[in-house]
Amino acid sequence: MQGKRKLFGTDGVRGQANAWPITPDVIMSLAMAAGSEFIRGDHRHTVVIGKDTRLSGYMVESALTSGFTAVGFHVMRVGPLPTPAVALLTKSLRADLGVMVSASHNPYPDNGIKFFGPDGYKLSDATEQSIEKRMSSDFDLAAFDHIGKAKTLDDATGRYIEFAKSTFPKHLRLDGLKIVVDCAHGAAYKAAPAVLWELGADIIPIGTHPNGTNINDKCGATSLDLAKQTLLEHHADLAIILDGDADRIIMIDSKGRVLDGDKILALTTSHFIKTKRLRGDAVIATHMSNLGLERYLKSIGLNLIRTNIGDRYVIDAMRKLNCNIGGEQSGHIILHDYTTTGDGLIAALQVLAIMQREQKPLFELSHIYENVPQIQHNLRLSSPVNLNDDMIKSMIRKAEEKIGSSGHLLVRASGTEPVLRLMAQGDNKDILDDVLSTLSDYLKARAA
């Protein structure tokens, strides 16, 4: 049985900058361990390092560079660039490893590190565990004449822009569409507006002036008010809202209705069926996806296959089952015909292509199914609780019984921040409210 990872969470390594584990010494050790893990063969090894716009990105990037060059890797820095672009470049440049420096949707004091293998996919749990194990042993440092070099790839953003445009049907244009694009002052602040404008759209960019501290600050995929206000003020056709590293997307139609990841999955899947592009007779999502999506897919003859939280678990199931659509309610949309990880911009382009093919506004296409009531509580407890404790497990079982077999309860520790997440969904909202309130109070008392 595999041991538990201590450093890696749901999506790489994450924490507050200059506090464990996001400190220069740990990061440099992590880079040396990851580099040692991926030294395979006698060729000169290369790592691609991208980042978002956080102030601490300079520190993390420098520590990574020191660690990788120390074990003989050449470092190719690509600067601020979306996470999926780093995955793309890792594969297209035939690099041995890719690294994205980002804490995604978290506020600027946090930072994190995501790894991609040479195939452009996120690392498995087993590989992450092996890297952690290497960190506690001595490294084989490169000889003085084999220390790696570091350079900047100047055309990285341009490469990603051209790739993104190539996923949009060549016979279509975005002329006549007015689009709000919120880049969260993050990694896509150059690429996303450029792609949409070059394809013909009239764009209203917001969140495109990063200063190192304003990433995800009252903007982006976890804060929709600014995008919705801008959409209504400018009478735009829709809004595209990305998060700090642009691997997730939320959309808003011209009526102000929000399309989360589940709604985007439903819309994209229905069109893939219509155009005979769907593979695998299933859509892959996580335990967080709304039961309304599951019921809709069942009504059109498809299964919703659920995985653990995290887009890397979604893509792993997609690869095993040969499915080409998957994602998370939070907005990670993976279209495996194009990408190896969640890509907010590529998902947006597919929705825009559907609009242009159908010659219909988004508000006419977006209302595909009704969501089942779904309630979430995020608990910041005074001390950790053990979810494997027999009494806590008994309380959770009682809550599940009260919700009934037609609903769903999920209790988990967040993999990206120190929070306990509770989610309940079902047809009776009053029961859900009662169940979550009771369970939350119990967990708070246990942590006191």
> What residues act catalytically?
104
| Rounded (to 5) percent helix, strand, coil in the chain | 35, 20, 45
Tokens 């993050």 -> residue: 186
Q: If we measure between CA atoms, which residue out of 344, 433, 438 comes closest to residue 82?
A: 344
**DSSP secondary-structure letter at 146?**
G
Q: How many CA atoms lie within 13 A of 338 on its CB side?
A: 25
Helix crossing, 156-166 with 83-92: angle to 10°?
A: 90
100 by DSSP, 3-state: which? strand
Helix crossing, 291-299 with 261-274: angle to 10°?
A: 10
Strand partners, 107: none
Other Cβ atoms less than 10 A from the Cβ of 40: the count is 9
**DSSP secondary-structure letter at 81?**
-
Amino acid occupying residue 1: M
